[in-house]
Amino acid sequence: MSMPASGLLPLAPLAPLAPLEEAEAQALRDTLRRVGSAFEFVVCRVPEGVDEAGEAHHRAVLRLLCDDIVAECDDYRRKTIARDPSLADAFGPRLAFDVDAARATPRDASAVVAAERFAPLHRVSYQRDPAQVSWFEWLCQAFGDPPYTLDVADEAERASLFPRFCACTGMLPGEGIAVHDWVGDPEREPGRSAWSPYFDDGKEWWGIWCLTVWNPRRRTLAAMMASQTD
């Protein structure tokens, strides 16, 4: 996760995690990339003295995640063109996020339960009335069943991924969390996600995710994002 040199952001102070915590987060990022997860995330700490993380803090951590994704895409483009200059024209416009245009909607944090309650390949489609399925359950399904099957080492690793993700991002029950959704349902609210073309792929059929999570007990703010197609 990239941070300003001062470790602070104007109007919304955020700090890096402690070294061991950041090492755990990076290990999870590396694992998710290895298995082919659709989800990207960052986690920051809110310094002491801030009683409650407001929308400015949520937007700040979202901006950090967007900056990291853009940097990664730029690095991939640069390395690819360096290997084969003829591919320069194959890339479209540079990925961009208009974070200032994004609008947050609170999610019902009571929907968050222990991730271990769900099977590793939890699916609710065709089994229950979709209107009765919580957003957290849909998140679990999306996490474990992306457009390309997760390439895990074994079923034990598959079972560990969503609980590790929830623990790392502070998305845990009973800890007074606050969750903001920045894109909504693309079919019902198509304009909510128009602040970046990043979300275009997921709108084809799989779906899109962009959440920020404040955990006051751990004093962490996390941002997570996913959009993918086949």
Q: For the chain, what is the domain count? A: 1
pLDDT band at 154 (very low <50, low <70, confident <90, very high): very high
| 118 within domain boundaries | no
- With CA atoms as reference, report the closest residue to 218 among 38, 44, 20, 67: 44
| 190 within domain boundaries | yes
Q: Rounded to two decimals, what is the model's pTM? A: 0.91
| 102 within domain boundaries | yes
CA distances from 102 to 60, 98, 198, 225 (A): 12, 7, 13, 13
| 94 within domain boundaries | yes
| 163 within domain boundaries | no
Q: What is the pLDDT of residues 61-70, one digit of tens each?
A: 999 999 999 9
Q: What is the pLDDT of residues 129-146, one digit of tens each?
A: 777 889 999 999 999 999
| 219 within domain boundaries | yes
| 120 within domain boundaries | no
The domain containing residue 84 runs over which residues? 19-106+176-227
Q: What is the pLDDT of residues 180-229, one digit of tens each?
A: 999 999 999 989 999 999 999 999 999 999 999 999 999 999 999 999 99
| 188 within domain boundaries | yes
Q: What is the pLDDT of residues 162-184, one digit of tens each?
A: 999 999 999 999 999 999 999 99
